[in-house]
Structure 1
């Protein structure tokens, strides 16, 4: 009488191919010898072998999908946010996998396609995992849900006020009126102009403008006197 793989794999006789696969994965992870070192290794090796034999016998159509190693491996791929789909080529089979990029996804976000990775004889197919990376922008830097941009202005604009014109990431023209006196390192936060916040529909981070003041390298005596008159500073200008 052959091996009762239903009993070994702990499934009932009406189990589907997917049920067999899931049960095999679970038991293989539990009893793989690498997870059972020391005194338990011999027992684990015996049970792992029996589980593998049962799974191989369970269905000729799935015998080439067995896993022979732990942990079940992943195939990491870098994915820049500018990508909308990637091709997968395995042997003679080609498949297009579509990834729907969600607004606000951060670096490190993983998109998993179960059983779409490497396939080898006597192994279950690995999962295919794409990892989001962020392509650097020429002007904007992401900090959490905020966007940061550096803006240099002249000293006269820093003191007297000015208008800052920015092009947003989605192509809009943003006009910001600057009325405060700006010192080097001054930061202005514009609400709801940052990155979309995932799972919080409609909410966005801030756009933070960090200013650098471009000071003149030299001033004439007349310019110095005029500045003192305007600003009301006391004392005599240095020659």
Structure 2
């Protein structure tokens, strides 16, 4: 007779529909793989047998065929509209041959309606069996993560590699964790808040379209420069003597060039000097750049000798306003 479905469900051959429901509920909850992480393979096998037994015995037509012909007869039978000359239980060219249903489908269907007729839902991997059937095109909420970039990377452009771990179903539909390397090409001029989207790179769950994975650009602080839109700002301290007599500034740009800037005019407190086209690239047109803004801070001496004061009076008495 093959597999003994009555023995698997722990019921007699005269079991009623209510007997089948009570026994299936008790055994399915006991052997569900999600509740048996330590002996997962054994639980999967038992859970599959229990669900197959209930699927057959709870269906009057399947149960009748099984009682008369056993498992082999059941699986050799086609269900549909009987044709003339066909077998006693509907062997026909227009029917479909019985195959065991997926255990999770049987389980979800049972608990979505419940043995008492009330609506009940079992959750697996965060998604209900009922939801898995009904959601269809539902998509998980996007996942955002910061992508820290140096000012040099945002100035010159760069390629960053990000390792992610995500949960996907294996060949048996069970969740497994896989690692993946994502390549992100940073374009010159990108600003803080720029978003890079990798569609459906989130975890895969039953009945739900995976979430998009979004990286959001964030700027790391720089030791010399500060960004202001498309401009770069640098604070430059100079002495009172340099402010009055002039000096030459030497700066290393974000792409490694040496920039020589002569300052010949008198620098008054709060003065700013703009160097054209030495700021950040403009992302829509990287051939264009913002400005480099030099903000001067004049450092006054903390004290002067009598002789120095006398010299300054003599030198500055004829100064032109």
- TM-score normalised by length of structure 2: 0.51
> Separation in 1 of the partners of 2:227 and 2:135?
49
In the TM superposition, what whole-angstrom CA distance separates every residue of 1:150-206 from its partner, at most 9, and x where no partner exists? 010111110000011111111111110001111122111111111000111310000
> Separation in 2 of the partners of 1:208 and 1:233?
33
Shift of 1:52: 7.3
Paired positions, count: 173
> Separation in 1 of the partners of 2:307 and 2:277?
45
Moved over 6 A (4+): none
Which residue is 1:210 aligned to? 295
Which residue is 1:90 aligned to? 166
> Separation in 2 of the partners of 1:54 and 1:107?
39
> Separation in 2 of the partners of 1:54 and 1:219?
84
Which residue is 2:249 aligned to? 164
Selected match of 1:183 from 268, 274, 278: 268
Q: Counterparts in 2 of 1:10-29, with a 5 A limit? A: none
> Separation in 2 of the partners of 1:210 and 1:88?
42
Which residue is 2:278 aligned to? 193
> Separation in 2 of the partners of 1:197 and 1:225?
52
> Separation in 1 of the partners of 2:132 and 2:164?
28
Could you say if the C-alpha distance between residues 229 and 113 of structure 1 is closer, same or farther in structure 2, counting changes exceeding 3 Å?
same
8 Å contact kept, 2:272–2:296: yes
Please state if 1:136 is matched with 2:204. no
Could you say if the C-alpha distance between residues 233 and 219 of structure 1 is closer, same or farther in structure 2, counting changes exceeding 3 Å?
farther
The DSSP-based 3-state class of the residue aligned with 1:133 is strand
- TM-score normalised by length of structure 1: 0.67
Selected match of 1:78 from 127, 146, 151: 146
Stretches of structure 2 lacking an aligned partner (at least 5 in a row): 1-129, 151-158, 168-176
Please state if 1:110 is matched with 2:195. yes
The DSSP-based 3-state class of the residue aligned with 2:285 is coil
Shift of 1:118: 2.3
8 Å contact kept, 2:268–2:298: yes
> Separation in 2 of the partners of 1:145 and 1:52?
48
The DSSP-based 3-state class of the residue aligned with 1:194 is coil
Shift of 1:122: 2.1
Please state if 1:228 is matched with 2:313. yes
Shift of 1:51: 11
Bigger CA radius of gyration: 2
> Separation in 2 of the partners of 1:94 and 1:52?
25
* Structure with larger RCO (C-alpha < 8 A, sep 6+): 1
Shift of 1:229: 1.6
> Separation in 1 of the partners of 2:243 and 2:217?
39
Shift of 1:226: 1.3
Selected match of 1:126 from 201, 211, 216: 211
> Separation in 1 of the partners of 2:141 and 2:135?
19
> Separation in 2 of the partners of 1:108 and 1:55?
32
